[in-house]
């Protein structure tokens, strides 16, 4: 069998370019995606192919290996406006802290990371916290695999609204039980402890009642930022593994042979 050589160069341009502070966020919202793939054949290889296949070296069968798709985990950021959802996301993505608040409608981010020795991709959707956007959040929540529910430890009202966000998620994900929805409660702005209005005990008690983890973060100092995202991705991965087991015939079935499902009620 004749050896075949392929030289491939790939150029990817325009993936979420940012500047610092507020420019970092605004630049992200202008998305340019340009991808070009260039395949070249070295002159020495071209002469070799011509000697074997004549003047039509295209008759040579040159195959390119298909890259293996990385596991993708879809994370949705939820919480009231101004609690630091965008700041946490940008800190995780780019190690940058955005001080000035600019309301978000919906920004999407993607990053390749190593999770417990495995290369994966995380897709983060940063949603709007304002009540004006409540109607469109349903569509975002349907596509999410895991949720970071963020409040500010300096604002009691933002903590109170976490209940509303959780109820909306449970309503949208009505075909799943609570334990099937990866969810973390996140108290942000831990660097402002002198302005704290929500105690760790109060937030921890709510997380315990919901049977979800609770973590306090600071987008400014980067405290526990990676932990929040990585812990949620582990929960997403575990849930996917359980679902795969059920699909392989290990799930609970009804007497008729089909899997039992909850019925959704659209309110």
Range of 6-10, 83-87, 253-257, 258-262 with top mean pLDDT:
83-87
pLDDT at 92: 98
* Domain boundaries defined on the chain: 7-59, 72-249
Regarding beta strands 118-127 and 72-79, do their DSSP bridges make them parallel or antiparallel, or are they unpaired?
parallel
Q: For the chain, give the percent of residues with pLDDT over 70.
A: 67
The pLDDT value given to residue 260: 46
- Sole residue written with tokens 């919906």: 106
Rounded Cα distance, 111 and 25, in Å:
16
Domain 72-249 carries which CATH code? Answer: 3.40.50.300
Q: Can you give the pTM of this predicted structure?
A: 0.71
Could you count the other beta carbons within 10 Å of the beta carbon of residue 123?
16
The per-residue pLDDT for range 181-222, each reduced to its tens digit, is: 999 999 999 999 999 999 999 999 999 999 999 999 999 999
The CB density around residue 168, as the number of other CB atoms within 10 Å, is 16
Q: Report H helices in the chain.
A: 21-28, 43-53, 85-94, 134-143, 156-160, 162-172, 200-210, 225-245
CA distances from 80 to 31, 260, 262 (A): 25, 35, 29
Q: State the alpha helices, DSSP H only, in 109-217.
A: 134-143, 156-160, 162-172, 200-210
**Range in 48-52, 66-70, 171-175, 199-203 with the lowest mean pLDDT:** 48-52
pLDDT for residue 128 = 85
Q: Which pLDDT band, with edges at 50, 70 and 90, does 258 fall under? A: very low
Mean per-residue pLDDT over the chain, rounded: 80
Contacts of 172 (CB under 8 A, 6+ apart): 138, 141, 142
* pLDDT tens readout for residues 131-181: 666 678 888 999 999 999 999 999 999 999 999 999 999 999 988 888 899
């Amino acid at each position: 069998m004749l050896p075949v050589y392929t030289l491939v160069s790939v150029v990817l341009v325009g993936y979420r370019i940012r500047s610092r502070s507020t420019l970092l966020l605004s630049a992200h919202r202008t998305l340019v995606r340009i991808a070009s793939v260039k395949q070249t054949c070295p002159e020495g290889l071209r002469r070799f192919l011509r000697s074997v296949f004549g003047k039509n070296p295209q008759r040579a069968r040159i195959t390119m290996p298909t890259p293996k798709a990385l596991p993708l985990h879809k994370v949705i950021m939820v919480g009231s406006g101004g609690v630091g959802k965008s700041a946490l996301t940008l800190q995780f993505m780019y190690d940058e802290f955005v001080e000035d608040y600019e309301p978000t409608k919906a920004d999407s981010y993607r990053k390749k990371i190593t999770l417990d020795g495995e290369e994966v991709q995380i897709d983060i959707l940063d949603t709007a916290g304002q009540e004006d956007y409540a109607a469109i959040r349903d569509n975002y929540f349907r596509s999410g695999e895991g949720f970071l529910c963020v409040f500010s430890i300096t604002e009691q009202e933002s903590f109170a609204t976490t209940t509303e966000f959780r109820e909306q998620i449970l309503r949208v994900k009505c075909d799943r039980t609570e334990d099937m929805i990866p969810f973390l409660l996140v108290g942000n702005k831990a660097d402002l402890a002198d302005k704290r209005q929500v105690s760790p005990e109060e937030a921890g008690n709510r997380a315990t009642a919901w049977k979800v983890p609770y973590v306090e973060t600071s987008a400014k100092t980067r405290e526990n930022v990676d932990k929040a995202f990585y812990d949620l991705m582990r929960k997403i991965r575990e849930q996917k593994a359980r679902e795969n087991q059920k699909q392989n015939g290990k799930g609970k079935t009804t007497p008729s042979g089909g899997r039992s499902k909850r019925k959704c009620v659209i309110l």
